[in-house]
Chains A and B, each alone.
Chain A
Amino acid sequence: MSDTHAETVLFVRETMLEQQEPPSSIVGPVGWARSNLFNGWKNSLLTGLSLAFVLFLLSGLLPWFFSPTWNATSLTECREILAGHEGACWGVIRERWLQLLFGFYPSELYWRPILTLILLLVALGPVLYTDYFPPKLLYFSAAFPFLMPWLLWGGSIWMPIMVAAGFAIGYFVFVALMKVVNAGISLFVAAVAAIVWWIFLAALVTNGIASVVPLVTLEPVPSRNFGGFMLSVTIGVTAIGCSLPIGIVLALGRRSDLPLVKLLCVCFIEFIRGVPLITLLFVASVLLNIFLPPGTNFDIILRVMIMVTLFASAYMAEVIRGGLAALPNGQYEAADALGLDYWKAQRLIIMPQALKISIPGIVSTFIGVFKDTTLVSIIGLIDPLGLANAIRADTAWNGVYWELFIFIGAVFFIFCFSMSRYSMYLERKLQTGHH
């Protein structure tokens, strides 16, 4: 058999060939470049154009960027150092970076905003990264909203405790009333009880206790001293924190069967979403005092926080409404089938799931609000952009421009970019949860 074969064919390979490396043109950097950068003339052209663009940008920016002006103490000194060359004047950042971060917060108290930021991350941990943190930490997350104002504004520790007591009072009233009437009514009465406590009693009790037991009292810092990124973060975090409960209520209201409640919620949400934030800030800066009782007068930063909170809660309501809409109808029906009433169904079945779905949306709302806090510079608050103007009004730095904006832009980018990465991580995690 093999003989005949051997006669008919001139050559037969009898051993297997060694496997060969693929040609060098399709592996390694060259191959990668060919398949990812130069596949086809159109792509090659695009690559060439992009490369030229990037090189052009870098060649213009890098020499400017690396300039030996870190130790300059004024723009004139920068000009002397550079001696006619184009270059950045980084001395302004060295001299003012702490101010850009903390505003006019007393420098010996910088540990307080820093500690607050660290605690904020700790408090957010169990909410955002549910897998890696012990659930017990959630209690700390609940306590943080009371801790934060105390750390930032200072004062007696009894104040946050008394404010927290308001919630406790509300809760007990709620539980007690639940045995008698339905949840809606008891919630209402509980809220009234808590508000009465806050407005009329808490200040009295606090003063009383604080004079008897003067526990830890921090040096008070008026909110006027808040500035720079600390102001942006404070406004952003406060607005998101406060807008979450308001947003939930509005979202439930908008999906409610009661036409009047629905109408009111729709009007509020659409009104806020229909006007630019800057007009709401104008309201905060020039009109809020006219709307409030004669003589009431609290400072501009609190007024801005209130308006930004209202602004954020309208957007939050829409995010949560999206979360509610994304829940399958079966969940609602199952809750009904179990005989749960509206409030129980919301609390035990609907909200936990809806909020979980909404977290990416909440994070992007937060990024939006955080970026929008720069608008407060237009009404004269000293946020990073406002501070940049104030710094340029200093005779030493009059005329500095790009350096400040690059610094501010970079810090904003770091904040927002890490948050948006987190939200993408979360989206991916939630997606796998469904499959």
Chain B
Amino acid sequence: MKKSVFLGALTVAGLAAGVAGAATLDDVKARGKLNCGVTTGLVGFAAPDANGEWEGFDVGVCRAVAAAVLGDPTAVEFVPTTGKTRFTALASGEIDILPRNTTWTFSRDVDLKFTFIGVNYYDGQGFMVPKELGVSSAKELDGATVCIQTGTTTELNLADFFRVNNITYEPVPIETNAEAQQQFLAGACDVYTTDASGLAATRATFENPGDYAVLPEIISKEPLGPLVRHGDDEWADIARWTLNALIAAEEYGVTSANVDELASAPTDNPEINRLLGTEGELGAMFGLEPTWAVAAIKAGGNYGELFEKNIGENTPIGLARGLNAQYTDGGLLYTPPFR
């Protein structure tokens, strides 16, 4: 493949480097790498460290899928995308899966022709203000200057919210979270609005986090999920059930520490057995190894472990599980059965 890329650079016609056919699974296997679209950098969700290794919650999904399909969590090419380029990159086949905190909406699913494979983070749009402003509700923000990241659904939600409540605002559009943070801290805007998770992550890195408050209003539903192209149901199934496997693993108490032990012999919980491939042939049904889920869980741990490691309460970002807890703990995570 390398050679043809090389040739592609030199000949105008450009030889096909990777063909985005219908069977994404075959492409990924032939390539030996999963191309995964991530943000250009969002604290806790995806960012490269000093060695160029990508880390974060979304990155964990990429690694799990790569491990499930290829057996190797490091066989991932991370493709940084912006709000503008992410959908084209996916549609054109440049990436195989896009876990880039993208909100699942009707028009993206139907009109842009993508398939959302599930939700890896239930989010909602919130507001953050400095405490010294003395604001306790978003409805008191008449005439405020609002920092807002462009290229997302937040823009439209914000416009709707202020129109419905019949108050005015001054939008300050901003490309990246880092710039928004700078403007907000300097007081160039009164309010910063983005997904609540982003607000918490941003607030955590402030010099004096206690001076800032997140307002109680959550003005939208933002189910963030990985997405794949329309029309390749097999690939969508693999991605969907890999995510489900991570969530189910947490539910059944399978962690990266005990997964090997649990997978070595059938346990007395048939659900775990089917998940880990010691019973039944779930993996073979979509053309993967029987131990696909074991590999996925070993890659970065189950959903709970990923959460704790990257954005959980013990990290600087310090997000509570909230809606993202298992249904047994009052959250929304509820996987269909592995059967």
Contact = CB atoms under 8 A, between A and B. Distances in A.
Interface of A: 75, 79, 95-96, 99, 103-104, 107, 149, 153-156, 159, 163, 195, 198-199, 202-203, 206-207, 220, 222-225, 227, 238, 282, 285-286, 289-290, 292, 295-300, 302, 305, 378-382, 386, 389-395, 398-399, 401
B242 to A, nearest CB: 23
Q: Which of A153, A295, A296 has the most CB of B within 10 A?
A: A296
A259 B6 CA distance: 37
Nearest to A290: B92
B11 interface: yes
Contact of B40 (A195, A203, A295, A382): A382
Nearest to A284: B85
A381 B46 CA distance: 15
A79 B2 contact: no
Contacts of A389: 40-41, 176, 178
Interface residues of B, number: 60
B177 to A, nearest CB: 7
B293 to A, nearest CB: 28
Given A206-B3, A302-B9, 14 more contacts: A159-B6, A199-B13, A203-B3, A227-B52, A289-B92, A289-B93, A296-B19, A302-B14, A380-B81, A390-B80, A393-B43, A393-B177, A399-B207, A401-B182
A75 B185 CA distance: 16
Interface string B74-117: 00011111101100110011100000000000000000000000
B288 interface: no
22 contacts: A107-B51, A163-B10, A199-B11, A203-B7, A223-B5, A296-B17, A297-B20, A298-B8, A302-B14, A379-B84, A380-B80, A386-B80, A389-B41, A389-B176, A390-B40, A392-B41, A393-B42, A393-B178, A394-B48, A395-B204, A399-B181, A399-B207
A199 B16 CA distance: 11
Contacts of A381: 80
B212 to A, nearest CB: 14
Interface of B: 2-11, 13-21, 39-44, 46-52, 77-82, 84-85, 88-89, 92-94, 175-178, 181-182, 185, 202, 204-207, 315-317
A220 B6 CA distance: 10
A75 B205 CA distance: 9
Contact of B6 (A155, A199, A238, A296): A155
A390 B81 contact: no
Nearest to B77: A224
B17 A299 contact: yes
A282 B84 CA distance: 9
